[in-house]
Structure 1
Amino acid sequence: MPDQKPVSTIVFDVNETLLDITTLEPLFARVFGDASVLREWFAELILYSQTMTLSGRYAPFGALAGGVLRMVGANKDVTISDEDVTELKSLIGSMPAHPDVAPALRRLREAGFRLVTLTNSPPSPAPTPLEKAGIADFFDRSFSVDEVAKFKPHPATYQMVAEALELETDDLCMVACHLWDTIGAQAAGCQGAFLTRPNNNLIKAENVPQPHYISDDLVDLADQITAANRA
């Protein structure tokens, strides 16, 4: 049991945690001749989103995604067309849910938790990415960092969720497959649940906060959270 009070609300990261970004690989294979460039692009996208926040600036995640794609193209002497950027944005908005998502969300709802999402992506017109993935009905609210013009893991993003729900941050558990997200959430007072999707692992080093829950399967992670907070 984590050394803090039980939580009432589970906050989910969206991109890669719930929705499968590997479905973007064919675009990167076509443009770069190497599907693995997806990982380079995504890492750079996170780096520059956080850089913007640390610099006191903000640009929508979708605009950064296209700009970073062009930057990676320039680094590799590959021309990125407007059509490539448009296709990227379309694919990001239509990613399917991982197979373990719906069963895990169903268990958490049945256990009595309130479920919400917190994403770096801006709000989307209907049908939203969660609606397209068939999982929107599991969630009571969907939050975007666009509301505070700061990207995760800035503490204002987690505090925004707590304030909107009239809760304290220690009423929340953040579920993410990115350790930087759980580190940020824990620093803000939340519990942290880390999902080790492929290419996402722990950092074991001095003063690096370890998540309260860890699993490579979201259903198992849901069971851990339920057991600990209902003990």
Structure 2
Amino acid sequence: MNEKDLPVMGRRGLIASLGTAAAGELIVSVTPSVAAAPTVTEGKPIQERAPSILVFDINETTLDIDHTAPVFQRVFGDKAVLREWFAQLVLYSNAITLAGPYATFFELGVGVLKMLADIHRVSLKPSDIDELRNRFQTMPPHPDVVQGLTELKGQGFRLIAFTNSPPVKPTPAENAGLYKFFEREFSIDRVRRFKPAAQCYHMVAEELGVEMADCGMVAAHVWDTLGAQAAGFSGGALITRGVNAPLRVANIPQPQIVVPDFVALAAETAKVWRQ
């Protein structure tokens, strides 16, 4: 993809964010006031600005990746390998962002599956790859998502979907019936860098025609909320789903909201970002 493929607004913003960096370098722009943003204390936000636009990660945050577990149970004899696969998929998406080349999230997913088959010394059939692709495309939403999104929309937030997955139609979010909640869906494929690269979050704000501080990131992954806040989003909300937790390290942006699911998210946003 080159400059002429982008709309004027997005093109200008991306040129500004990329600057004169050589191809393959990762740009990380940290806003000091955002990076130092503290967490919620007794339900009160300590921040200068609350987001009016909530940007949602899709894979695992809204959609249940355990839908793909039967493939891993059959191929590896252990459905827990799903978590190994997904962690490696995220690792290598970040590795190629730092290194410079690009492949789509789906292409990487197949490559990582083949790599794990070699490591675990199991055979992999084309039908296994096809099933994983189909299951990944048709993941259902977590049971709390529809209620949570309904309540958030009722609170007046603009809701945006933002995924590492390529813009293949229909998208996983569309297949899951979530499009009625989202104003727009963006893919990192536009900038050919994976989250949490700063260009990804800048692209969303630029395409929406809003300031970075108007946006808050909602994700089940600390690296996603961290990346968005470091890039300039005013808020972050971490959905733990019983298996995640904040990264409590000094000088690392912390999410203002940490909750187990979307129903709890809607309850907290009403107190923290809508008072």
User: Which bracket does the TM-score occupy, shorter chain normalised?
Assistant: over 0.9
Equivalent residue number for residue 223 of structure 2:
180
Distance 1:32 1:134 in 2: 31
Amino acid in structure 1 at the alignment position of 2:181 = F
1:158 positional shift: 0.6
1:204 positional shift: 2.0
1:131 positional shift: 2.4
- Map 1:1-231 onto structure 2 (within 5 A): 1-126=45-170, 128-190=171-233, 191-231=235-275
Deviations 1:4-49 (A, max 9, x none): 2121110000000000001111110000000000000000000000
Q: Which moved more, 1:201-210 or 1:80-89?
A: 201-210
Give me the CA root mean square deviation: 1.1
1:102 positional shift: 0.5
Distance 1:4 1:28 in 2: 46
1:71 positional shift: 0.2
Equivalent residue number for residue 32 of structure 2:
none
Deviations 1:59-107 (A, max 9, x none): 0110000000000110010122222111111110000000110011001
1:222 positional shift: 1.9
- Asked if structure 2 preserves the Cα contact closer than 8 Å seen for 1:176 and 1:193, the reply is yes
Deviations 1:109-146 (A, max 9, x none): 111111011100001213x3222212110000000000
**SS of equivalent residue, structure 1 residue 194:** strand
Equivalent residue number for residue 15 of structure 2:
none
Q: Which runs of 4+ in 1 moved over 4 A?
A: none
**SS of equivalent residue, structure 2 residue 180:** helix
Paired residue total: 230
Distance 1:6 1:133 in 2: 29
Q: Which moved more, 1:179-188 or 1:206-215?
A: 206-215
- Asked if structure 2 preserves the Cα contact closer than 8 Å seen for 1:177 and 1:194, the reply is yes
- Asked if structure 2 preserves the Cα contact closer than 8 Å seen for 1:2 and 1:228, the reply is no
**SS of equivalent residue, structure 2 residue 143:** coil
Which one has a bigger Cα radius of gyration?
2
TM-score, with length taken from structure 1 = 0.96
Distance 2:155 2:211 in 1: 21
Distance 1:217 1:11 in 2: 15
List gaps (5 residues or longer) in structure 1: none
- Asked if structure 2 preserves the Cα contact closer than 8 Å seen for 1:120 and 1:144, the reply is yes
- Asked if structure 2 preserves the Cα contact closer than 8 Å seen for 1:174 and 1:193, the reply is yes
Identity %: 48
Amino acid in structure 2 at the alignment position of 1:226 = A
List gaps (5 residues or longer) in structure 2: 1-44
